[in-house]
Amino acid sequence: MQTMNPGSSRTVYRTCPLCEACCGLAIDVDGDRVLQVRPDEEDVFSHGFVCPKGIAVAEIHNDPDRVRTPLRRTPTGDFEEISWDDALRITGERLSETRRRFGRDAVAVYYGNPIIHNHGALTLRKALLHALGTHNVFSAGSQDTSPRFATSYHVFGSSVLTPVADVDRCTYFLCVGANPVVSNGSAMTAPNIRGRLRAIQERGGKVVVVDPRRTETARLADEYVAIRPGGDAALLLAMVRILIDRRLVDEDVVGRCSVGWPKVQAALQGLDVRAAAAFCAVPLATIERLAVELVEAEAGVAYSRVGTCNNRYGTLATYATDLLNIAAGRLGREGGWMFPTPAFDATLITRLPGGDGHDRWRSRVRGLPETVGDLPAACLAEEIETAGDGQIHALLTFAGNPVLSTPNGRRLAGALDRLDFMVSIDLYVNETTRHADIILPPAWTLAEDHVDLLMGSFATRNFARWSPAVVAPGAGEKADWEILLDIIRRLGGGPMGDRFLDPVIGVFEKLGYRWHPTHMAALLLRVGPHGDRFLPWKKGLKMKDLREAAHGIDLGPLKPGLQRIQHRGKRARLDAAPLLAALDAFLADLRGYTAARDELLLIGRRELRTCNSWIHNAPSMVSGRERCLLYVNPEDAARAGLSDGDVARLDSKAHSGPVKVHVTDEICPGVVSLPHGWGHAEAAPWQSVAGAHPGVSANDWTDDQDVELVVGQSILNGVPVRLSAAA
C-alpha cells in the first residue's frame, strides 16, 4: 500500500482485532495518521456496537512506547536498536545453530492469544513448525480453550468444531463460568451480548448465571447461582443424571444425534447427586430445578467457558456441557447448541496442516499431552530447566506474554534467562519479551489487511468480512507474516511448510509472484462452506465479494442440523476413552471428597478495559480507580482482620506476596478473585503508562505443577490460598 497523502481524510471500515466479538470499526484517518475509531453503525454483524477497547485501537496504534525497530538486549539488560538485516540474520543463525547442536526439539515456540486474529501468522504456523521440526510448541490454549478443543476433537471429530449457543433464538440461557457482558464472549462470537441477553428476557425467556462471583452478567440475569470453584463438572453431570432419572431424556433424539450414550448413562449410575451437590456447593433442589427448566424450556441451551475450563475438571466440565445439551435434545436445534456454517472452514484450516488431535505426543519431563499440536504451557519452565535430550535451549515467542499469563510466571521468568537464545515477535518490551535477545516488532494490524479466519466458526450468526489496511506501514516496518516468513526461509523452509509445494511456490516467485496470506485466505474462502469449490457451474463467495462489502456480508442465522459434525455418520461420539476415563476419575475423587474447613480458593476476573496483559499502556485503559484488587467476601475479610483498601498478604504453594483488598459480598465466602494480566513493575522502563499502574500478577500465585487430568490444563481457578493481614 502506498503512503497516503496528508490531508486525504477518509474512513476505513475494519474488524476489531482485540477480542472474539469481531465488531466492525469505522476508523478515521488523515494521510497515515489514525485520528479516531468509531463504531461502524452500518456493520452487518455488530450493528454499531463497540466496547471501550475497540475505541482504544487508535491509542495502541499511536503508542509512543511501542517497539518500532528491531531491538537487541545488551549485557546490562537494556535494549539497543539494530537493523532488520542484523536482527533477522542473528535470529536465523542462532535458531539454526541450536537446532544443529541440540536437535529439533531444542527450539520451542510459544504462540500468544492474538494469533487467533492474525491470518498471516495462522497461515504460516505449519511452515514455521515444519521448518523447526519441534514438538515443543506452547500456547495460551492451556490457559484457555484446550479443554474445549480436546472435547470437540473427541465428540465432534474436529478440535475446532464447537457448537455455539444460539443466543438470538433461545428462551433459556444457562451461562456457566463465563462473564460475556464484560469479556464480550468466548467461543461465542456475538457483539453486544448485553443486548442479546436482554432480548432473551424480552421474548419471555430466562437467563441463569452460575459463577462464584455475582458478575456483571449475573446482575443482568434472572437468576444467579453461586458455585464452588471447580464444581462445574459436578453440577453439569448431576443435571444430566437428573434428566436420566426423571426420564426427561428422549432416547430417540439422543440416538439420532450421537453414539455412545448407553456408556455415559451406565457411568453416570455411579454419580451420587447429593455428593455432587455438596461438592459444587449448589443445593440439590436448585440443581434439579435448573435441569428441569432447561429441558422444559421451549429452546434451552447451556453454555460454559473460561471459568469452567481453567479448573481441575475443565475438560470433564466441557464434555458435561455437551452431554447436557445433547441429553436435553438441543444439539443442532434452533435456539440450542448449534454449529455455525462459517465462510472460512476452521476444521479444514486445522486439519490440513495436521493440527487436529489430542495426545499424539507428550512433554518430555512430565508426560503431559499435546492438544491441537500444543503442549501445556505449565511445563514450559521445566522443559527449559531440565537437562537431557530434548531440553529446550532456544525459544521464539509470538504475540504472547506467558510470564504474566501462565501459572507460576515467576519460575518461567527465571527459566527464560537460562535459554541460549530467545527471540520475540511483539509490539512491546513486556514482562516476557524483556528476556529476549532479539525483539522483532510487527507493523501491527492497522498497517496490514485482515481476515478473521477462525471467529466465524464460533459466531452466533454466519458472516464474513475482509478488512483493508488502514494506513501504510511506516518506513522499514514489516508485517508479522513477513517477519515469520523471513525466519522460515532462513531455517530452510517455505510458506507452505511442504516439501512438494514450497519448490512450486519458489518457481512462481522467480516469475514475479509474491506469496501473501490473503491469497491463502482467498483460497480457503472458495473451498469453504459458502465457496464455489472451483466448480464452474457453482456460485459462491469470493474474496472480491468481501472486498466490495465494506460493512461485511451477512450469511444468515445458524442452520439447524448436524452436517458439520466431522465423524462418519454425522453423529457426536460420546464414548471417547479419555473423556470416560476423566468421568471415572472424577467419580473416584467425589467418593473421597470431604469439605475442607476454612477453605479459600483463588479465581480470576476480567474487567472491561483489559485485554489479558497487554493494553495497559493505553492511558484510557488504566484511567480511574485502581482495578487490580483482590475481591474478598466480608466474612473472610473479618476472619483475616482485613478492611476494604488494606494491603493483605496472600499465600499459595507457589508464592507469597502483598495484594490490595476490596471487600465485597459479590464474591462468595471461601473464594477470592484477582484479575490476571497485571504485574507490570518489571516492564516499567519500556511501558511508561502500564509501569505507572503495575498491579500484581495473579499467575505469581498459580501453580505450574498441579494441572488438570485430560489436557494438562492450568488450574487458574480454584487455587488454594491463605489470606492474612500484611506483616
Ligand X SMILES: Nc1nc2c(c(=O)[nH]1)N[C@H]1C(S)=C(S)[C@@H](COP(=O)(O)OP(=O)(O)OC[C@H]3O[C@@H](n4cnc5c(=O)[nH]c(N)nc54)[C@H](O)[C@@H]3O)O[C@H]1N2
Residue 205 interacting entry, from ligand SF4, Mo ion, ligand X, none, C-beta within 5 to 8 Å by type: none
d(CA 201, CA 186): 21
- Among the listed ranges 50-58, 144-152, 172-180, 532-540, the one in contact with Mo ion (CB under 5 A) is 144-152
213 binds, among ligand SF4, ligand X, Mo ion, none (CB under 5 to 8 A by kind): ligand X
DSSP code string of 651-664: E-SS-EEEEEEEE-
Could you say whether residue 640 binds ligand X (CB under 6 A)?
A: no
CA 321 – CA 316 distance, rounded (Å)? 9
Q: Going along 140-270, which residue ranges are E strands?
A: 164-165, 172-176, 206-210, 223-225, 258-259
The number of angstroms, rounded, from the C-alpha of 614 to the middle of its chain's C-alpha atoms is 14
Stretch that binds ligand X, among 37-45, 358-366, 395-403, 641-649 (CB under 6 A): 395-403
Contact partner at residue 400 from Mo ion, ligand X, ligand SF4, none, CB < 5 to 8 Å by partner kind: ligand X
Q: 630 with 662: CB under 8 angstroms? A: yes
- Residue 227 found at the interface with ligand X (CB under 6 A): yes
Q: Which does 22 bind (CB under 5 to 8 A by kind): ligand X, ligand SF4, Mo ion, none?
A: ligand SF4
Q: How many residues bind ligand X (CB under 6 A)?
A: 65
Q: Give the integer Cα–Cα distance in Å for 707 and 376.
A: 9
In terms of DSSP H, where are the helices of 110-145? 119-132
Kindly state whether residue 184 participates in binding ligand SF4, applying the rule CB under 6 A. yes
How many positions of this chain bind Mo ion (CB under 5 A)? 1
- For the bound state, the minimum distance from the C-beta of residue 116 to Mo ion, rounded and expressed in Å, comes to 8
- Is residue 179 a contact point for ligand X (CB under 6 A)? yes
* Residue 464 within binding range of ligand X, rule CB under 6 A: no
* Residue 522 one-letter amino acid: A
Identify the CA nearest to 34 among candidates 59, 13, 15. Answer: 59
Considering only residues 599-628, where is the footprint of ligand X by CB under 6 A? Answer: 603-604, 606-608, 610-614
Instruction: From 142-150, 202-210, 527-535, 543-551, give the range in contact with Mo ion by CB under 5 A.
Output: 142-150
Q: Is residue 69 within 8 Å of residue 358, measured between CB atoms? A: no
The least CB distance from residue 565 to ligand X, in Å, is 24
Among 392, 702, 713, 723, binds ligand X (CB under 6 A): 702
C-alpha dihedral (519, 520, 526, 529), degrees to nearest 10 = -150
Q: Using CB atoms within 10 A of its CB, is residue 597 exposed (0-12), middle (13-18) or buried (19+)?
A: exposed
What are all long-range contacts of 640-643, with beta carbons under 8 Å and residues at least 24 apart?
A: 640/723, 640/724, 640/725, 641/724, 641/725, 642/723, 642/725
Under the criterion CB under 5 A, does residue 144 sit at the interface with Mo ion? Answer: yes
Q: Which stretch binds ligand SF4 (CB under 6 A): 16-24, 326-334, 616-624, 719-727?
A: 16-24
Which amino acid is it at 695?
Answer: G
* Part in contact with ligand X (CB under 6 A); list of ranges 337-345, 385-393, 441-449, 558-566: 441-449
DSSP 436-488: -SEEE-B--GGGS-B--SSGGGGBSEEEE--B--SSPPPTT-B-HHHHHHHHH
Between 53 and 206, CB nearer to ligand SF4: 53
User: Closer to ligand SF4 at the Cβ: 240 or 455?
Assistant: 455
Does residue 618 touch ligand SF4 according to CB under 6 A? no
For the chain, percent helix, then strand, then coil, each to nearest 5? 35, 20, 45
Residue 707 bridge partners (DSSP): 714
Residue 703 binding ligand X, by CB under 6 A: no
Q: Under the criterion CB under 6 A, does residue 518 sit at the interface with ligand X? A: no
Residue nearest to Mo ion (CB): 144
Q: How far apart are the first and last CA of the chain?
A: 59
336, 355, 369, 402: which one contacts ligand X (CB under 6 A)?
402
At its nearest, how many Å lie between ligand SF4 and the CB of residue 50?
A: 4
467 counts as binding ligand X under rule CB under 6 A: no
Q: Pairing relation of β-strands 647-651 and 671-673? A: unpaired
Q: Does position 295 bind ligand X by CB under 6 A?
A: no
279 contacts ligand X (rule: CB under 6 A): no
Q: How far is the C-alpha of 195 from the C-alpha of 207, rounded, in Å?
A: 12
Binding mask 35-64 for ligand SF4 (x = CB under 6 A): ---------------xx-xx----------
Angle at the Cα of 698 from the Cα atoms of 693 and 701, rounded to 5 degrees: 135
**Residue 337 engages ligand X in binding (rule: CB under 6 A):** no
CA–CA dist 302, 306 (Å, integer): 14
* Residue 545, all three cell numbers: 465479494
- C-beta closer to ligand X: residue 157 or 307: 307
C-alpha cell at 101: 547442536
| Residue 629 found at the interface with ligand SF4 (CB under 6 A) | no
Residue type, 373: G
Here the cell at position 276 is 455432587
Within 680-699, the residues that bind ligand X by CB under 6 A are 698-699
Rule CB under 6 A: which residues touch ligand SF4?
A: 16, 18-19, 21-23, 50-51, 53-54, 184, 191
Rule CB under 6 A: which residues touch ligand X?
A: 19, 112-114, 118, 140, 143-144, 176-180, 182-184, 186, 210-213, 215, 227, 229-230, 232, 305-308, 310-311, 398-402, 405, 425-428, 430, 442, 444-445, 480, 603-604, 606-608, 610-614, 676-677, 698-699, 702, 716-718
Rule CB under 5 A: which residues touch Mo ion?
A: 144
